[in-house]
Amino acid sequence: MPAPVLLVIAHGSRDPRHAATVHALVRRVRTLRPDVRVETGFLDFNVPSVPGVLESLATEGVRDVVALPLLLTRAFHAKADIPAVLADAPARLRVRQAEVLGPSPLLLTALERRLYEAGLSPADKSSTGVVLASAGSTDPEAIAVIAAIAREWRHTGWCAVRPAFASASPPRTEQAVRELRELGCARVAVAPYVLAPGRLPDRIARGAAGADVLADVLGPAPEVARLLVERYEAARTPVRMALGA
């Protein structure tokens, strides 16, 4: 019995860097699991659309699909948009929605990778304050998760870690940078907790003007690719059990 198809569901953006980054991440996932067919679908702005991919898979005779939201928190898209799209999938498809990517220790490792690539070193941790800069959400659960991640990350040795948001909820990135300066951190770094470039990550970058270091988005970091595989494996298990495998 073939492995379920992994359908990576991205939000989509008018910014061409967004789709390019998503495709780079998916290519890395394919290298990790060459035995699994991996497809990409977008909710908006980009093609192929999620409904289009699902229809094509059904036409080909595919039976089992694991739909993996390329999201860091369980906000509106994970709770409403994606389930609604998947509910309209062709009846002959068995589709299971995987969990969102965050929170995960792998994401913290990826964040640190990006900070070190931007010029920091592990020796700088105790004197560096970090802004964990998220896109933001109106969902209280998503906001609480970001705050919890910041608290957890602080315990790994950073001078301080402050959450910030590019939209919806305060504080903004620039405010968190000021707070860390006032706290007395020798240097301040901004770590975007976002997967791909776009309008809100650009807003984070503008807010980081007063920081010493601005890391890149998570993008196709090796840890992110490994996490996609982990979420796929966790979601496909019930599919295998249902098939008696």
pLDDT tens for each residue of the chain, 245 residues long: 899 999 999 999 999 999 999 999 999 999 999 999 999 999 999 999 999 999 999 999 999 999 999 999 987 778 889 999 999 999 999 999 999 999 999 999 999 999 999 999 999 999 999 999 999 998 899 999 999 999 999 999 999 999 999 998 899 999 999 999 999 999 999 999 999 999 999 999 999 999 999 999 999 999 999 999 999 999 998 644 444 44
Residue 22's pLDDT is: 98
Using DSSP's 3-state secondary structure scheme, residue 39 falls into strand
Of 146, 116, 136, nearest to 128 by C-alpha is: 116
Distance CA 175, CA 133 (A): 11
Residue 244's pLDDT is: 41
User: Which residues contact residue 244 at a Cβ distance below 8 angstroms, ignoring those fewer than 6 apart?
Assistant: none
The residue written with tokens 């359908």 in the block is 7
Distance CA 27, CA 22 (A): 9
Question: Does residue 222 have a cis bond before it (omega within 30 degrees)?
Answer: no
- The count of C-alpha atoms lying within 13 angstroms of the C-alpha of 151, restricted to the half-sphere facing its C-beta, is 6
Residue 238's pLDDT is: 60
Structure-token pair, residue 142: 């998503």
Residue 243's pLDDT is: 41
Distance CA 66, CA 69 (A): 10
